[in-house]
Amino acid sequence: MWLRSAGRPAQAMVFLLTVLFSITPAAAEPVRTAINAINADILFMRHALAPGTGDPSHFQIDDCATQRNLDERGRAQARTIGAYFSTHDIAPDVILSSQWCRCRETVIEMDIGAAAPFAGLNSFFDGHVDRGETLAMLRARMDQIAPGQLVLMVTHQVVISAITGIAPRSGGIIAYNSRTNTARRIDLP
């Protein structure tokens, strides 16, 4: 009854408030929400699904046949994530990838741009590279990120966990602010 007596401006205000309160943070796009929440300059992404754990003892960085690689589900997962980035206009300024084949293939299947291979993203899980040297390279590269720049780094769980303290699942993404060391997990719909 009070709306009739109050007139059109009050009705408009009630409508506007109803619309505003019906929009929840869950309805917001999660990648941009995470980036904006912590002013992230890095999106760490764990490579897509690659069955197994670690790499074979005969691992060679330049021979994909000696590595644990993406399966068809992993390739499909990477394509889905890439399509999500494209649909939502999420375009990193720079894309870096571990030299491991599963990381490089993840970026290729995402089809959002070319990645530069970067040893600072390589996995030290099985001792194929030195943990300290790898993380030192990564930290030095993070110090070079220009203000306002967004860098996608496709890498391994151990690298992401060492920097962010978060262990992502395959294809998982963590927003990270390299100046404040703040991290936020992103759950894509």
Side chain identity at 156, as an amino acid letter? H
Helix (H) or strand (E) holding 77: helix 72-87
- In the chain, what is the straight-line distance between the N-terminal and C-terminal CA atoms, in Å? 41
The pair of three-digit structure tokens given for residue 22, joined into one six-digit string? 């019906």
Looking at the DSSP assignment, which residues form a beta bridge with residue 44? 153, 174
Q: Rounded to an integer, what distance in angstroms lies between the CA atom of residue 140 and that of residue 119?
A: 12
Helices 101-110 and 72-87: angle between axes, nearest 10 degrees: 40
Q: Which pLDDT belongs to residue 11? A: 59
User: Could you tell me the pTM of the whole model?
Assistant: 0.85
List of the chain residues with pLDDT < 50 = 1-5, 13-14, 16-26
Q: Which pLDDT belongs to residue 117? A: 98
Q: Which pLDDT belongs to residue 71? A: 98
Identify the three-state secondary structure at position 154. strand
For 23-40, how does the pLDDT look when each residue is reduced to its tens digit (9 = 90+)? 444 458 999 999 999 999
Q: Which pLDDT belongs to residue 151? A: 98
Superfamily of domain 25-186: Phosphoglycerate mutase-like (3.40.50.1240)
Q: Which pLDDT belongs to residue 88? A: 97
